[in-house]
Amino acid sequence: MITTSGNRGDTVRSDCHIALTIHKTGGIKINIKSKVKSLFGKSINDLCSIILAHFDIENAFLEIDDQGALPFVIAARLEHAIKQQVNTSKEFLLPFYNDNYSFSTTDKIRRSRLYLPGNNPKLMINAGIYGADGIILDLEDSVAPEKKQEARYLVRNALRGLDFGSAERMVRINQLPMGLEDLKFIIPHQVQLVLIPKCENSDQIIQVDEEIKEISQCNNHQILLMPIVESSLGVINAFEIAKASKNVVAIAIGLEDYTADLGVQRTEAGTESFFARSAVVNAAKAAGIQAIDSVFSDVANINALTDTVQKSKAMGFEGMGCIHPRQVKIIHQYFAPDISEIEKAQKIVLAFEKAERQNLSVVSLGSKMIDPPVVKRALKTISQAESLLLIEKEWRKNHE
Amino acid sequence: MNKLVKNAAGRMIPEIINGDKAIPFKGVGKHIPERKKFAPKIPSNIFYPADGNKQINNIKEALIKSGIRDGMTISTHHHFRNGDLIANLVFDIAHELGIKDLRWFPSASFPCHEHLIRHLENGTISHIEGSMNGPLGRFCSEGKMKKTAVLRSHGGRYQAIQDGEVQIDIAVIGAACADPFGNANGLNGSSASGLLGFALADSQYADKVIVVTDNLVQFPCVPWQIQGNYVDFVVEVEKVGIPEKIVSGTTEITKSPDRLLIAEMTAKFCEITDIIHDGFSFQAGAGGTALSISIFFAEIMRKKGIKARFARGGSNKYLVQMLEEGLIEYILDGQTFDLAGVESMKNNPNHVWTSPFTSYNYHSKGNFAGMVDVVILGATEVDLNFNANVVTHSDGYLLHGLGGWQNCLFSKTVILPIPLFRDRIPVIVDDVTTLCGPGELIDVIVTERGIAINPLRKDLIEKTKNSTLPLKTLKELKAEAERICGKPENPKLSENIVAAIKWVDGTVIDIVKQVKNED
C-alpha cells in the first residue's frame, strides 16, 4: 500500500510530496529528489529516518519530491503519510519556537486578521513579518476536502514552530462537527484564538468550549473564541452567540455566505448587508466584545479597501479580515483613531482627570458637560493611540 | 601543474589561465598598469569602396572575407537579449566551415544561446569569455568546457579590450538599423532595442567589424551609435532578432508580498537617511523588486516635492513615466528593457544613451558609476563581512553573469535588497561560494526580516539610530535564517577550475570550481 501526502508540481514552492510504502523486510530506503539536495540532502534524510524510527517503522520505501520544504513541512507530510497506514496515538512533534508559549488577551487590538490557506506552507513562512494583528491558519474554505487531514498536521506544526511575530495565532476550524476534530490538532499547540465559522447559535460555541476544556484538561482555559456569523439565522442570534462563553472576545461577520443565504449579490456599496453588519456590531457591543468586519477580497483595489475600512470603522467595527499582506497597512491606518479624534479625546481625558483630582462629580469641558460614556470612549481612544504609538506615553506633558 | 597563489581577498588563484599569466586581485584600487593601451591595426581608405558601400551578400561571406580561422576571438552583443539570432548563426557558419577552437567573447549570454552547447561539444568553440547564464553556466559548471571560462563586468569587458587582454579578431554587431557604410543604431526597426553601447569597444578595437541588420536604410543612418568608419562589412539579413523576446514586454512590479516589503523597506531606508534628496541620482535594475523600489521612490519624491537629477537605466516604462512626470530630469540609459524605453529614447532628448565606456570603464579618466548616489543591486549570497556573490548559487552552479554589478559598487551607497532565504537556502553565509564584490564597497543589506548596515558606514548608522527601521547585524540575520532553514552543507566541488572571475581592473578576484555530480 502506498500512501501520499503534500503537493508537487511546477508552481509548488517550500513544500514537498511524499510517497510511502511500508514493507515487512528490506530495511529503510529513502529516495530524495530535491532542488536543495546538495545543501540539505543529509538533513532531509536524517529527519525522515528519525520520524520513521519514532513510529517504529523498520522497513519502508520513502520517496520525497522536495521543492525546498522546511523541516516542519517535511515532518507534517511524512507523519500524515505514515498515519494512513499505521494506527497509533503517537505524534512527531518538533520543538516549540521560544516565543510561541504565550496566551493572548481579551482586549488585544484586532484590526487585521490575515487569512492563510492551511495547506500552503509557502505563505505561512513569512506571514509574521507584515505586522498583522492576527494570523489565521485556515482549515476551512481554503483547504480542499481531500486535503483536510494533511492540513491539520501542517497547521499543528506551523503553530509550534513558526515565528508569527506579534500576531495573534489564530486557526479557523471547519464547520461543526468536523471542526471539533480539528481542535485536537491545535489546542495542545498554543493556538491563541479559534475562529468558529458559520455560527448560528450558542450551542455551537458551548460545544467548542467544552471540547477545548476536554482536550486541554482545564476548566478555565485561556483559548479565545471568535465566532463568524455567515447566515441570516446567525445574524438574528448574534447576541446569544456573543454571550455564549466568556472566552468569546469578538464576533465577526462573513459576507460571502451571508449574501448567498439572502440570495443577493455582494456589492461594493454593501446596502444588502447593512442590516446584518449593524446587527453584529450591536450584538457585540451589547455583549461587551469586539465587532469584526468581513474579509475584503479584491486585493488589487487599494482605493476600494480604503473606502470600505472607513465605512466599517464608522459603523462600529474594530477590525476586518484580509487575504494579502499589502492590505494590512491600509487596514491599520484607517482603523486607528485619526488626529482629530485623538485630540478631542485628549481634551476630554484631561478634563476628566482634573475633575477627579478636584473631587468633582461632573466633568466639563469649557461650558459643556461631558457624559460618562463619552469619557469612557475617550479613554479607550487614548489607550489605543498609545499602544499604536500614535502619541507618546507622556503626551500629558505637552498639554500642561 | 598550475600553481595556485593567494590573492588579496584570500582566494586561491591559478598563476596561468588559458595559457596567459593571471594577475591576482590586489585590493580595490591597487592595480595600476603602466603600459599604453592596445591599438588596432591602421586601416586605409584605399582598401574600402570609394562609394562607401560595404554591403556583402551574407554573413558567411563576410566571415570568410574577415579571414576567420581556428583559434580566433569572435565577439557578439546582447542588445537583442533572449531574442538574439546572430550569435547562434555565426557559430553555425563557423562549424560549417570546419573552424575550431574559437573563443566566444559576448557582452552577455542568454538562455537562447543554449544552442551553442553543440559547438562547445564539437570543438568549434573552445570557451566563453563573458557572462554565463542558465544552460551555458550549467554546462561550464559541470566541467564540460574545453578551456576556462572568464567572467567580466560590463566595465571590465571594456577594460580588457582596451588593455589588449582580449584581442577581438572579428566583431559581429547586430543592429536594428544600419546603412551600407556601416553606421548603425538600435533605435529604428522591428528589432529596436534602444542602443548599441555594448558593441562600442568592439567597433573601435576589433580587427574586423561586421554589422548585421534586418533594416538597411540608405546612407545616412542617424543617429550613428556605431560609426561606419570603424566597420569593414555590412550584411542585410531577414531577421536579426525575435522582437517579442528583445523587449520582453514590461517586467511587472512584483506581486510577491515579501519582495514588496523588501522594496518598501529599501525606499524607507533611503528616505530616512536623506539619500533621497533634491537633485539626487539613483540606479535600480530591471527585476520586479527593483521596479517596485522605483515606484516607492516616486511616492517619496512626490510627497517631498523633490526630483532626481538623473537616473541610470536599464530603462523601462516606470522610469520613463517618472521622467515624463518631471520626477527625474535625465535618464542615462545603459540598456532599454521595453518599448516605452525605446520610444522615449527616440523622442525625448533627456533620455540619453550611454555605453560601458561612459558608465563603467575602469581604465578611463573617471566614469559615471561613482557619481550615482544610490544603486540597488541583487546578490545570490552575502557573507558576514558584506562580501557578495552574484554569479554562482550556493550549490556551486554558475548561473548568472556579472553584468554591470561590480562597476555599480563604486556608487556612493550600494544597497542589496535580498530575501533572507530562497527555497530554504539562506542568503547570508559564512563564506560566499564565489567572491564577486568586496564587502568594503557594499553598504546595506535589506532583507524582509531586518536591515544590516556595513560598520564602515558610520554616517548611515548614525542617521538611522533612532529610527523605526529593523536594524540588525548580519550575524543576527544569518542566525535567524538558519533557525528557520537549518544550516546547509557545503556544496560538493572538485578541484577542477572551470571559470575565473575578473575584478573591474582585470585582476582575478576568484575562481569557480567544477560541481561534483551526485546522481
Give me the residue from A40, A130, A163 closest to B424, CB to CB. Answer: A40
What is the pLDDT of chain A when averaged over all its residues? 93
Portion of chain B with pLDDT greater than 70, in percent: 98
- Please answer whether residues B417 and B296 qualify as being in contact, where contact means their C-beta atoms are separated by less than 8 angstroms: no
- Residue A399 pLDDT: 73
The residue type at B5: V
d(CA B145, CA B17): 14
3-state secondary structure at position B125 = strand
pLDDT of A103 strictly over 90 = no
Question: A119-150 burial string, b = 16+ CB within 10 Å, else e?
Answer: bbbbbbbbbbbbebbbbbbbbbbbbeeebbbb
Q: Tell whether B295 and B340 lie within a shared domain.
A: yes
d(CA B471, CA B476): 10
Torsional sign, CA A65, A67, A68, A74: negative
CATH number of A98-335: 3.20.20.60
The residue type at B161: I
Residue A324 to residue B257, Cβ atoms within 8 A? yes
Residue B257 to residue A67, Cβ atoms within 8 A? no
Q: Would you call the peptide bond into B314 cis, given omega within 30 degrees of 0 as the criterion? A: yes
Q: Tell whether B263 and B239 lie within a shared domain.
A: no
- Residue B519 pLDDT: 54
List where CATH 3.20.20.60 sits in chain A: 98-335
Instruction: Quickly tell me which residue has 527625474 as its cell.
Output: B328
A chain contacts of residue B491, beta-carbon cutoff 8 Å: 38-39
Q: Tell whether B237 and B299 lie within a shared domain.
A: no
d(CA A298, CA B290): 25
pLDDT of A105 strictly over 80 = yes
Question: How many domains, in total, are found in chain B?
Answer: 2
Instruction: Quickly tell me which residue has 476550524 as its cell.
Output: A173
Residue B492 to residue A325, Cβ atoms within 8 A? no
DSSP one-letter code for B2: P
The residue with greater pLDDT, A77 or A339, is A77
List where CATH 3.30.230 sits in chain A: 2-83
d(CA B211, CA B183): 9
What is the pLDDT of chain B when averaged over all its residues? 94
Q: Tell whether B108 and B203 lie within a shared domain.
A: yes
Question: Would residue A83 be called left, alpha or beta, if left means φ above 0 and alpha means ψ between -120 and 50 degrees?
Answer: alpha
Domain assignment present for residue B473? The answer is yes
Kindly report the nearest CA distance between residue A286 and chain B, in angstroms: 38
- Provide the pLDDT confidence category of residue B246 given band limits of 50, 70 and 90: confident
A chain contacts of residue B518, beta-carbon cutoff 8 Å: 37-38, 41
Name the domain boundary from B211, B244, B277: B244
Looking up residue B356, the CATH number of its domain turns out to be 3.40.1080.10
CA atoms within 13 A on the CB side of A21: 10
Residue A67 to residue B395, Cβ atoms within 8 A? no
A chain contacts of residue B484, beta-carbon cutoff 8 Å: 70, 125, 163
Mean per-residue pLDDT, B273-294: 89
d(CA A8, CA A150): 14
Encode pLDDT of B205-229 as tens digits: 999 999 999 999 999 999 999 999 9
CA atoms within 13 A on the CB side of A225: 27
Mean per-residue pLDDT, B446-464: 97
The residue type at A381: T
Sheet containing strand B508-515, strands side by side: B149-151, B493-502, B508-515
Q: Tell whether B221 and B324 lie within a shared domain.
A: no
- Provide the pLDDT confidence category of residue A220 given band limits of 50, 70 and 90: confident
Encode pLDDT of B154-164 as tens digits: 999 999 999 99
d(CA B503, CA B500): 10
d(CA A347, CA A356): 14
- Residue B291 pLDDT: 83
d(CA B181, CA B170): 17
- Please answer whether residues A103 and A192 qualify as being in contact, where contact means their C-beta atoms are separated by less than 8 angstroms: yes
Q: Other CB atoms closer than 10 Å to residue B392's CB: what's the count?
A: 28
Q: B149, exposed or middle or buried, with CB in 10 Å at 0-12, 13-18, 19+?
A: buried
- Residue B211 pLDDT: 98
- Provide the pLDDT confidence category of residue B251 given band limits of 50, 70 and 90: low
Q: B47, exposed or middle or buried, with CB in 10 Å at 0-12, 13-18, 19+?
A: exposed
Q: Are strands A2-6 and A16-22 parallel, antiparallel or unpaired?
A: antiparallel
Q: Tell whether B234 and B377 lie within a shared domain.
A: no
Q: Tell whether B214 and B76 lie within a shared domain.
A: yes
Backbone angles phi, psi at A291, to 5 degrees: -105, 130
Strand partners of residue A229: A253
Sheet containing strand A28-34, strands side by side: A2-6, A16-22, A60-66, A28-34
A8 Cβ under 8 Å from any chain B Cβ: no
Closest chain B residue to the Cα of A300, Cα to Cα: B255
Across chain A, the runs of DSSP E, i.e. the strands, are 2-6, 16-22, 28-34, 60-66, 112-117, 134-138, 168-172, 193-196, 224-229, 250-253, 290-296, 319-322, 363-365, 368-370
* Contact partners, residue A158, CB within 8 Å, separation at least 6: A72, A121, A124, A137
- Residue B160 pLDDT: 96
Name the domain boundary from B183, B214, B244: B244
pTM listed for this prediction: 0.92
d(CA A343, CA B483): 44
B chain contacts of residue A39, beta-carbon cutoff 8 Å: 394-395, 424-425, 488-489, 491
- Provide the pLDDT confidence category of residue B254 given band limits of 50, 70 and 90: confident
Q: Look at residues B418, B404, B251 and name the one whose alpha carbon lies nearest to residue B318.
A: B251
- Residue B249 pLDDT: 56
pLDDT of A400 strictly over 80 = no
Mean per-residue pLDDT, A257-276: 93
Name the domain boundary from B183, B211, B244: B244
Q: Look at residues B218, B176, B217 and name the one whose alpha carbon lies nearest to residue B85.
A: B176
Give me the residue from B261, B395, B423 closest to A67, CB to CB. Answer: B423
A11 Cβ under 8 Å from any chain B Cβ: no
Q: Tell whether B323 and B280 lie within a shared domain.
A: yes
Domain assignment present for residue B401? The answer is yes
Residue A42 to residue B394, Cβ atoms within 8 A? no
Secondary element (H or E) of residue B44: none
Encode pLDDT of B414-423 as tens digits: 999 999 999 8
Instruction: Quickly tell me which residue has 472576545 as its cell.
Output: A249
d(CA B15, CA B10): 15
Q: How far is CA A54 from CA A91, A93, B418, B437, in A?
A: 9, 10, 38, 46
pLDDT of A238 strictly over 80 = yes
Q: Tell whether B223 and B267 lie within a shared domain.
A: no
The residue with greater pLDDT, B334 or A392, is B334
d(CA A389, CA B507): 53
Query: What's the angle, vertex CA B301, arms to CA B299 and CA B307, rounded to 5?
Result: 140
Q: Are strands B55-56 and B233-236 parallel, antiparallel or unpaired?
A: parallel
Portion of chain B with pLDDT greater than 90, in percent: 88
d(CA B181, CA A206): 89
pLDDT of A98 strictly over 80 = no
* Contact partners, residue B190, CB within 8 Å, separation at least 6: B176, B214, B215, B243
Give me the residue from B395, B425, B486 closest to A43, CB to CB. Answer: B486
ipTM for the whole complex: 0.89
- Residue B518 pLDDT: 62
A302 Cβ under 8 Å from any chain B Cβ: no
Encode pLDDT of B106-128 as tens digits: 999 999 999 999 999 999 999 99
Secondary element (H or E) of residue B336: none
Closest chain B residue to the Cα of A41, Cα to Cα: B489
d(CA A96, CA A102): 11
Q: Tell whether B281 and B421 lie within a shared domain.
A: yes
Backbone angles phi, psi at B294, to 5 degrees: -60, -40
Secondary element (H or E) of residue A163: none
Secondary element (H or E) of residue A75: helix A71-83
> Architecture of domain A2-83 in CATH?
2-Layer Sandwich (3.30)
Closest chain B residue to the Cα of A34, Cα to Cα: B423
Q: How far is CA A81 from CA A63, A119, A143, A144, B238, in A?
A: 11, 15, 18, 17, 58
pLDDT of A166 strictly over 70 = yes
Residue A325 to residue B261, Cβ atoms within 8 A? yes
Interface mutation vs chain B, best among A44, A94, A126, A333, most B CBs within 10 Å: A126
- Provide the pLDDT confidence category of residue A299 given band limits of 50, 70 and 90: confident
- Please answer whether residues B419 and B388 qualify as being in contact, where contact means their C-beta atoms are separated by less than 8 angstroms: no
- Please answer whether residues B204 and B230 qualify as being in contact, where contact means their C-beta atoms are separated by less than 8 angstroms: yes
* Contact partners, residue A238, CB within 8 Å, separation at least 6: A229, A251, A279, A280, A282, A283, A284
Torsional sign, CA A77, A79, A83, A86: positive
The residue with greater pLDDT, B214 or B519, is B214
Backbone angles phi, psi at B334, to 5 degrees: -95, -30
The residue with greater pLDDT, A61 or A379, is A61
Give me the residue from A37, A70, A130 closest to B257, CB to CB. Answer: A130
- Please answer whether residues B183 and B220 qualify as being in contact, where contact means their C-beta atoms are separated by less than 8 angstroms: yes
A chain contacts of residue B258, beta-carbon cutoff 8 Å: 126, 129
Mean per-residue pLDDT, A36-43: 95
* DSSP calls for A349-368: HHHHHHHHHTT-SSEEETTE
* Contact partners, residue B457, CB within 8 Å, separation at least 6: B413, B443, B444
Domain assignment present for residue B160? The answer is no
B518 Cβ under 8 Å from any chain A Cβ: yes
- Of A326-340, B70-84, B168-182, the poorest mean pLDDT is in A326-340
Domain assignment present for residue B33? The answer is no
Q: Tell whether B217 and B289 lie within a shared domain.
A: no
- Residue B354 pLDDT: 94
Encode pLDDT of A116-165 as tens digits: 999 999 999 999 999 999 999 999 999 999 999 999 999 999 999 999 99
- Provide the pLDDT confidence category of residue A109 given band limits of 50, 70 and 90: confident
Domain assignment present for residue B156? The answer is no
- Residue B248 pLDDT: 67
> What cell numbers appear for B368 in the block?
559615471
Q: Tell whether B235 and B261 lie within a shared domain.
A: no
Q: Which domain holds residue B112?
A: 55-129+166-244
